[in-house]
Amino acid sequence: MSNKKKTILDTIKQNDGIIRLKPAWVARDFLPPGRRLGLPEDQYELGERGGICERWVGSTTKADNKVSVPNEGLSILNIDSDEEITLKEAVELLPKELLGDDYSKKHDGLKRLPKIFDYKYRLPYHIHQMEHHAKLVGCNSKEEAYYFPEDVPLGEEAETYFGVHPYIAQQKKYDLLMPHMIEWKDDTILQHARAFMQIPGDGYHVPSGTLHAPGSALTIELQEDSDVFAMLQPKTGGKIIDKELLWKDVTETDRKEKGEKIILEMINWEISGDPYFYENRHTPPILIEETKQEGGEEYWIFYNTNKFSGKKLVVKPGGKFISKDKGVYNILVWRGNGTFDGLDIEGENFEQDELIVCHDKAVKEIEVINTGDRDLIIYKFFGPDINDVPMLPKYEG
């Protein structure tokens, strides 16, 4: 048995199926950071890499940035070890122990990526490629969902543009977007989209191929394990971004033969042009009645898809909650402090706010205790095919 494998196995046994993780900070160079991730002020700016705009949580996905940094985006096990071990390595070396016997036979990893993104301004209007086009560049598609936490400033541009005006899709006037991509000079492409306010304690489900420009609210995001995108908006945050971000995940052949038109083929026009986008994609929290207890309660915050799911657990001051789930998950302790199966946890403490709960532990009862004087808030993140989640009824007017 390799040294790494033995170290991971010993940690799992020592902590009875729970492993602490370190934060994974990710830089982006197309927008300045919102500076709401809890880092010291002097740690946000990273020169040519840009600034720290995202924290990835329980991540087995490598960040795909122009300036590549070893292990950027990958979560590191927070354990006493002579060598750095990533969560990706742990899952690959011990899939049965982390994912469970049955699950590991059907899934080659955790297959989801939770993150917090924190930008000063609205993100550019963009898409994440659907499965077919993502596979052409050796990547996965990227369906995603958002939740906006209640206790954080919303930022300067707290509204998200989704899709296009319905007539564009209904009348197949897709070429309206072409001049903006070709001329690459301003942000007027947003005139073709509709804006939705970002409301604290609210959220949205966004399938791959959907046009969107997320607003400046600090956002808890859950998505497929991928970093593919195509940026269609030339100007954002007052500056012109590199047009290479339009082509980042387009094959050289498609770029040469089809030019900007290839991007139109990557858009899911049915969803982007849905006149009832809000009704079909808006995902406010749903109380989980069957797990409600005197000491606390859970809510579905990521649902309406089988590709991932997520819960928000709230334990009252001095309260206790018995947690029991259907498979492996990781947690982010957002606010408050307490214990999780006896392990000390504390929101905003990077040494104690992130755990992965292996399958055999997750399916047993785990005692979560709030030892503080305010609500203990924990986000739980699950991969595909673990939970039976609520699905929004299709609204067609």
Number of structural domains in the chain: 2
Whether the CB-CB separation of 246 and 263 falls below 8 Å is answered with yes
Domain contains 364: yes
Instruction: Give dist(CA 119, CA 160) in Å, integer.
Output: 13
Q: What pLDDT is attached to residue 65?
A: 86
Domain with 260 in it: 19-281
Q: What pLDDT is attached to residue 397?
A: 81
Among 281, 315, 334, which residue terminates a domain?
281
Pair (109, 192) in one structural domain: yes
Among 238, 254, 281, which residue terminates a domain?
281
Domain contains 13: no
Residue 194: how many CA atoms within 13 Å on its side-chain side? 15
Instruction: Tell me the average pLDDT across 266-281.
Output: 98
Pair (183, 270) in one structural domain: yes
315-349 pLDDT tens trace? 999 999 999 999 999 999 999 999 999 999 999 99
Whether the CB-CB separation of 320 and 371 falls below 8 Å is answered with no
Pair (223, 333) in one structural domain: no
Pair (253, 353) in one structural domain: no
DSSP 3-state of 81: coil
DSSP 3-state of 222: strand
DSSP 3-state of 286: strand
Q: What pLDDT is attached to residue 1?
A: 62
109: buried, middle or exposed (CB in 10 Å: 19+, 13-18, 0-12)?
Answer: middle
106-150 pLDDT tens trace? 999 999 999 999 999 999 999 999 999 999 999 999 999 999 999
* CA–CA distances in Å: residue 217 to residues 31, 158, 190, 297: 14, 5, 18, 25
Q: Which of 371, 360, 257, 381 is nearest to 315 (CA)?
A: 371
Q: How many residues does the chain have?
A: 397
Pair (204, 322) in one structural domain: no
Place of tokens 């499965």: 131
Domain contains 293: yes
Instruction: Give dist(CA 117, CA 308) in Å, integer.
Output: 18
Instruction: Tell me the average pLDDT across 68-93.
Output: 94
Place of tokens 């785990």: 366
Q: Which ranges of the chain does DSSP label H, i.e. alpha helix?
A: 3-14, 87-93, 95-99, 101-106, 131-136, 166-170, 178-183, 244-247, 252-258, 261-265, 269-272, 277-281, 359-362
Pair (176, 219) in one structural domain: yes
Task: Assign residue 217 the CATH number of its domain.
Answer: 2.60.120.10
Whether the CB-CB separation of 22 and 76 falls below 8 Å is answered with yes
Whether the CB-CB separation of 213 and 188 falls below 8 Å is answered with no
Q: Name the band, by pLDDT with cuts 50, 70 and 90, for residue 66.
A: confident
Pair (27, 77) in one structural domain: yes
215-263 pLDDT tens trace? 999 999 999 999 999 999 999 999 999 999 999 999 999 999 999 999 9
Pair (216, 316) in one structural domain: no
Instruction: Tell me the average pLDDT across 352-374.
Output: 98
Cα 169 to chain center, whole Å? 28
Instruction: Tell me the average pLDDT across 289-303.
Output: 98
pLDDT at 376 over 80: yes
Among 281, 300, 319, which residue terminates a domain?
281
Instruction: Give dist(CA 324, CA 202) in Å, integer.
Output: 25
Pair (121, 136) in one structural domain: yes
DSSP 3-state of 292: coil
Q: Name the band, by pLDDT with cuts 50, 70 and 90, for residue 68.
A: confident
- Give the gyration radius of the chain's Cα atoms: 21
Q: Which of 210, 171, 209 is nearest to 194 (CA)?
A: 210
Pair (351, 214) in one structural domain: no
Instruction: Tell me the average pLDDT across 361-369.
Output: 98
Instruction: Give dist(CA 240, CA 258) in Å, integer.
Output: 23
Q: Name the band, by pLDDT with cuts 50, 70 and 90, for residue 2.
A: confident
**Averaged confidence pLDDT in the chain:** 97
Place of tokens 């959907």: 210
Place of tokens 């924290």: 55
Pair (47, 191) in one structural domain: yes
Whether the CB-CB separation of 4 and 83 falls below 8 Å is answered with yes
Domain contains 42: yes
Q: What is the DSSP string of 294-352?
A: TTEEEEEEE-S-SS-EEEEEEE-TT-EEEE--SS-EEEEEEE-EEEETTEEEETT-TTT
Cα end-to-end span (Å), the chain: 60
Domain contains 264: yes
Q: Which of 330, 309, 303, 312 is nearest to 393 (CA)?
A: 303
Domain contains 387: no
Domain contains 182: yes
Q: What pLDDT is attached to residue 306?
A: 96
The sheet with strand 203-206 has its strands ordered as: 24-28, 51-56, 113-117, 219-223, 144-147, 203-206
19-64 pLDDT tens trace? 999 999 999 999 999 999 999 999 999 999 999 999 999 999 999 8
Pair (134, 253) in one structural domain: yes
Domain contains 249: yes
